[in-house]
Structure 1
């Protein structure tokens, strides 16, 4: 049976990775196979010295969707943990994956800047990074996500439970 894909999108440091891990835990507790595709980890293999140019981003997200598509076709459920700052990247996944759920991890910029576990905003504010989505590059909010998480108001565990409920409602779980 074909798997499903959940795409967690939002600005950097919005809480995508924490929610992805909480969701993974809930899905695995049901005895269901699931794999997180964390963009930062996948990028290390595909573009070891990323430049974050538009061409590179487009190629990266095409490859990420392709990897997810292969897993889903072989019955592995996928959680994409990826900013994907342009709608076109996420729309491509929606087109290619029939059992797809987009989750917008909505987070005020100030909250993300204060969290900043990887130091991206500090680097951007010092000029060491010039392409950070949400700060120096636009982040295109999803138009019709299946789930919206208010990252500054909802605990990651509650967000994961909300996503799990939607997966059940859609018949994916």
Structure 2
């Protein structure tokens, strides 16, 4: 960013053109694609929407939470993401570590570019 602070944004941009626009507007941009089988994605969406805990047990949603959008049937997969996470095979902590490594790489490349 202009302030030199790394930013991670959680967003669903189902169209490649939207992600490409972000890439053109943001100097140090990286696309992270999360991949899992559609059935698992639907189950996860249902759990979020209905505030289900592990095992399908209903729980109270946190105040102010908003249901996640439906699974986008017209999602255009990334052609060359900087990072792909297989969320059906990878545990949450290793995925988080991978995203943080990527953020650090972006920060280092931004710092190097600003010192030239």
Coarse TM-score class (shorter-chain normalised) = 0.5 to 0.7
Q: Aligned-pair distance for 1:92?
A: 0.8
> As a proportion of its length, which structure holds more helix?
1
Residue number in structure 1 paired with 2:49: 118
Residue number in structure 1 paired with 2:72: 134
Residue number in structure 2 paired with 1:90: 19
Q: Secondary structure at the match of 2:81?
A: coil
Unaligned 5+ runs, structure 1: 1-71, 120-130
Runs of 4+ in 1 over 4 A off after TM superposition: none
> As a proportion of its length, which structure holds more strand?
1
C-alpha separation in 2, matches of 1:167 and 1:73: 16
Q: Secondary structure at the match of 2:14?
A: coil
- Once superposed, what is the RMSD of the aligned Cα atoms? 2.2
User: How do residues 14-25 of structure 1 correspond to structure 2 at under 5 angstroms?
Assistant: none
How many residues of Structure 1 are paired with residues of Structure 2 in the alignment? 89
User: Cα deviations across residues 23-61 of structure 1 (Å, max 9, x unaligned)?
Assistant: xxxxxxxxxxxxxxxxxxxxxxxxxxxxxxxxxxxxxxx
Larger Rg: 2
Q: Aligned-pair distance for 1:141?
A: 0.5
1:160 corresponds to which of 92, 96, 99: 96
Residue number in structure 1 paired with 2:85: 149
